[in-house]
Amino acid sequence: MKLWNLFVGVLVCAVAVSFGSSNVSAQEEKVSAQEEKVDYSKVVGTWEMESEGRGGETRTYNWVFSMKDKSLVATIPARRRRGGGAEAAAGAAATREIEGVKLEGDKLSFSYEREGQNGTMTIAYTATIKDRKMTGTSAFGDRFSRDFTGEKASLAKLLVGTWEMESEGRGGETRKYNWVFSMKDKSLVATIPVGRSGDETIDVDDIKIDGAKLSFAVEREFGDNPITLEYSATLKDGKLAGTYGIPDRFSRDFTGAKAAAKSD
């Protein structure tokens, strides 16, 4: 009888352990499934931000969100330190990369620690995202907080300017040239080089935009035959990458980066 009771006890424990393991596994799968459903696309990109400065003036700056090893990362301006230093010398060009950005539904949050005269201070940001707009608050430890607002920059706005492009020529050489994007009547237009020499340019005024992707076509004549060159590209991490060519005949890859703005 004692042996039977011992056997039953061992069996009950085994079933309990198996059930517990299955329950933990199910919970882990549920958490994993919830993580996979996070829509990072509504955050990833460049945001044009505004907040009030110390003297009451309006500060404007950019935040850039990107994915790194399947995690959301924020690149924000590094705040200037009083009394100089590397950050102060770099001014507006200095940035700080923050990992571990959290996105839960329409709620965004991240934080980082900064050394100051009074020791380490945690700067925490919380925001709500709706319809490509962001509103939130930055808390500087327990000292003070400031509100901020922002709007996600459109692809057209990010493209405006001169882009330094590269592609492979017919002989395998690297061709370098510029694309120039501008706004005309609230629409994105481009001026691009055509022909072997690249001395001739053509204006493109029918550019299609879909998220981070753009596409357009250029009508040309080769001898007495009309041809259509089709271009498509994606903007990612400040780089343009895409292909151009004639469908079913040939295609070539190209890449490009925005030229640095000239200082006055």
Model confidence at 7: pLDDT above 80: no
* pLDDT, mean of residues 32-50: 79
What is the distance, to the nearest Å, from the Cα of residue 235 to the centroid of all Cα atoms in its chain?
Answer: 9
Q: Which of 227, 219, 225, 221 is nearest to 250 (CA)?
A: 227
The residue that leads in pLDDT, 63 or 6, is 63
Q: What percent of the chain has pLDDT over 70?
A: 78
**What is the pLDDT of the chain when averaged over all its residues?**
82
Helix (H, G, I), strand (E, B) or coil at 57: coil
Per DSSP, helices labelled H in the chain are 2-36, 86-90, 155-159
Per-residue pLDDT at 93: 56
Mean pLDDT for the stretch of residues 166-182: 91
**Buried b vs exposed e over 231-255: b needs ≥16 C-beta within 10 Å?**
bbbebeeeebebebeeeeeeeeebe
Q: Does 6 or 167 have the greater pLDDT score?
A: 167
**DSSP string for residues in 142-209:** TTEEEEEEEEEPPHHHHH-EEEEEEEE-TTSPEEEEEEEEEEETTEEEEEEEETTTS-EEEEE---EE
- Specify the residue for token string 């399947």: 70
Q: What is the mean pLDDT of residues 45-52?
A: 93
pLDDT score, position 28: 47
What does residue 86 show for φ and ψ, rounded to 5 degrees? -60, -45
- What pLDDT, on a 0 to 100 scale, did the predictor assign at position 30? 44
pLDDT band at 91 (very low <50, low <70, confident <90, very high): very low
Residues 6+ apart with CB under 8 A from 3: none
Count the residues in the chain. 264
pLDDT at 29 over 50: no
Residue 135: pLDDT band (50, 70, 90) is very high
pTM here?
A: 0.64
**Structural domains of the chain ordered from first start:** 40-152 (2.40.128.120), 156-258 (2.40.128.120)
The sheet with strand 174-184 has its strands ordered as: 200-204, 187-194, 174-184, 161-168, 250-258, 239-246, 225-236, 213-222, 208-210
Q: Are 230 and 246 spatial neighbours (Cβ–Cβ below 8 Å)?
A: yes
pLDDT at 55 over 50: yes
Residue type, 87: E
Compute the average pLDDT of residues 61-73.
Answer: 92
Record the tokens describing residue 93, joined without a space.
């060009």
CA distance 245 to 243: 7
More confident position, 264 or 144:
144
When pLDDT is averaged across residues 163-172 and rounded to a whole number, the result is 89
pLDDT digits (tens, 9 = 90+) for 188-244: 999 999 876 667 899 999 999 988 899 999 998 877 888 899 999 999 878 999 999
Q: Please report the pLDDT score of residue 248 as a whole number.
A: 86
Range in 27-36, 171-180, 186-195, 237-246 with the lowest mean pLDDT: 27-36
